[in-house]
Amino acid sequence: MAIKYEPVIGLEVHAQLQTKSKMFCSCAVVDSVSETPNNAVCPVCSGMPGTLPVVNQLAVEYGIRVALALECQVNPVSIFARKNYFYPDIPKGYQISQYEQPLAENGKLNIKIAEGQKTIRVRRVHLEEDTGKLTHLNGSSLIDLNRAGVPLLEIVSEPDMSSVEEARAYAEALRDILRYLEVNSGDMEKGVIRFEANISVRPEGTDVLNTRVEIKNLNSFRALERATAFEIQRQEKVLEAGGQVDQETLGWDEDNEKTYSQRSKEDAHDYRYFPDPDLPPLVVDKAWLERVTATLPELPRAKNQRFMEEYELTAYDAGVLTAEKAVAEYFEAALKKLPENISPKSLANWMTGDLFSLMNQADTTVADLKLSPEALAKLIGLVAKGEINQSTGKTVLVEMFSSGKSAAEIVEEGGLKQVSDEGFIADLVKQILGENPDAVESFKAGKETIINWLFGQVMKKAAGKANPNVVRAELDRQLKEA
Ligand SMILES: [Zn+2]
């Protein structure tokens, strides 16, 4: 009988902190794509002998924010250590990190999975500095030290995830939190968040911890998913064939969609960590902790829950409206301007349906919208009051989206006001019935669905502006009398 296996996955997430300056010097944190290489470098971050690092206070505060959001205990004292190794992208010959006493420990993050939710424990959150960037080109290697010394937060989970889906859900939930806290742009393409996955497999239902491998430098959710899935399968095959998984560090080959061995795994003692003699212990006292706690915004999960309860939205609507802070703020700003008789659900429909699809087509974000929350609320108000009908409203939205004009202006200029005048509509209906005697006959013969076609004809004649309720009532009345 074949043994069924289950994966055991832990994630290390490296997130750059979007401070103005680097972790231990005053060099600017610059855009990794657009900035000229080696333009933001000084003697400290290029590792000149005799220079002294100074801790960036804001980076520490950002780290504390994340730690608090993950319900970690923030250590009153944490220690910066030197992690010694040689690689061309670390000019000092060591990376300043935290080792034995990290900034914070023992937190958790709840993730949404198909069966409901699951709690993933967070082992530690610590501060460190990023490395430079190597580019290999035509047999040469180019070094850019702009990134060397950029504040980096490492968030390490316990191996609590047991599927690719859970790993992705955790990574996404963490990115959402980093963005909500405004400590990281979440811009994965620029490498501001990177994942490392620790993976082993074991017979299902057991609690053994088999040898694990570590996959480095996964720069997108897609890479995380694919590399993890690949590695789980590879290990299962090794075990099924009676072999053993070697402890090693793997890279991910995106083009060929497979992992490859980088080196046999080093142990912590290989780095010969020791406290950095140039940096005093980092003390986070109660007063500081309280100040930072006071700056914490409402987090995605809490907001999601509140949207469902307070606005009676579905889980789906609440989910898409709170996935990004800016979208949630837009929704609530529009809601404040909405006439009282209109439900939040109706606003949610306009946003998640028509507005989001326009934004997708134009590949734009809520921050770039020409259409203010107030303007959207006014449009919905016009439809609710019957000044324009629903389908005209959708056309007006498209125009507002592209021109930034107000709904009232567009309705006025286009003569789009809904016509509810019963006499006018009665004449239109009479005209259409007169032009289509066959349709009237088949209605009388029992083909009642023909009424939809006739409705379409009347609306067309009215250039879409007739009040559909009045048209339906009038059609009913005249057909019964015909
Ligand atoms: Zn510098």
113 vs 296: CA distance, rounded Å: 26
The two structure tokens encoding residue 404:
């930034």
Q: Tally helices (H) and strands (E) across the chain.
A: 16, 16
CA distances from 108 to 69, 159, 177 (A): 9, 12, 12
290 vs 63: CA distance, rounded Å: 14
269 DSSP assignment: G
Determine how many CB atoms are found less than 10 A away from the CB of residue 288. Answer: 16
* Distance from residue 14's CA to the centre of ligand 1 (Å): 20
* Distance from residue 42's CA to the centre of ligand 1 (Å): 4
Residue 178's H or E segment, with its range, is helix 164-180
* Distance from residue 31's CA to the centre of ligand 1 (Å): 15
pLDDT tens track, the chain, 482 positions: 578 899 999 999 999 999 999 999 999 999 988 999 999 999 999 999 999 999 999 999 999 999 999 999 999 999 999 999 998 999 999 999 999 999 999 999 999 888 888 999 999 999 999 999 999 989 999 999 999 999 999 999 999 999 999 999 999 999 999 999 999 999 988 999 999 999 999 999 888 888 899 999 899 999 999 999 999 999 999 999 988 898 888 999 888 888 888 877 666 668 899 999 999 999 999 999 999 999 998 988 889 999 999 999 998 999 999 988 899 999 999 999 998 889 999 999 999 999 999 999 998 889 889 999 999 999 999 998 888 888 889 999 999 999 999 998 898 888 777 787 788 888 889 999 999 999 999 888 888 889 999 999 988 888 778 888 888 888 888 988 87
Residue 475, amino acid: L
User: Rounded to the nearest 10 degrees, what angle do helices 164-180 and 57-69 cross at?
Assistant: 130
* Distance from residue 22's CA to the centre of ligand 1 (Å): 7
Residue 63, amino acid: G
Residue pair 393/414 in contact (Cβ under 8 Å)? The answer is no
What is the Cβ-side half-sphere exposure of residue 29, based on CA atoms within 13 angstroms? 24
* Distance from residue 26's CA to the centre of ligand 1 (Å): 6
* Distance from residue 63's CA to the centre of ligand 1 (Å): 20
> Who's near 438: CB < 8 A, 6+ residues apart?
none
Task: Tell me the three state secondary structure of residue 416.
Answer: coil
176 vs 173: CA distance, rounded Å: 5
* Distance from residue 226's CA to the centre of ligand 1 (Å): 36
The two structure tokens encoding residue 260:
């490859």
Of 234, 208, 123, 232, residue with least CA distance to 170: 123
Of 293, 268, 334, 388, residue with least CA distance to 67: 293
Residue pair 125/97 in contact (Cβ under 8 Å)? The answer is no
> Who's near 213: CB < 8 A, 6+ residues apart?
198, 199, 200, 231, 235, 245, 246, 247, 248, 249, 250, 259, 265
Domains assigned to the chain? 5-293 (no CATH), 300-414 (no CATH), 422-481 (1.10.10.410)
* Distance from residue 452's CA to the centre of ligand 1 (Å): 71
The two structure tokens encoding residue 246:
């070697």
284 vs 16: CA distance, rounded Å: 21
355 DSSP assignment: I
Residue pair 251/259 in contact (Cβ under 8 Å)? The answer is yes
Match 């680097």 to its residue by tokens.
22
403 vs 272: CA distance, rounded Å: 61
Task: Tell me the three state secondary structure of residue 43.
Answer: coil
* Distance from residue 287's CA to the centre of ligand 1 (Å): 30
* Distance from residue 60's CA to the centre of ligand 1 (Å): 17
272 DSSP assignment: -
* Distance from residue 148's CA to the centre of ligand 1 (Å): 8
* Distance from residue 171's CA to the centre of ligand 1 (Å): 30
* Distance from residue 296's CA to the centre of ligand 1 (Å): 29
The two structure tokens encoding residue 311:
């606005």
Residue 89's H or E segment, with its range, is none
User: How far from the centroid of its chain's Cα atoms is residue 388's Cα?
Assistant: 36
Residue pair 215/261 in contact (Cβ under 8 Å)? The answer is no
* Distance from residue 30's CA to the centre of ligand 1 (Å): 11
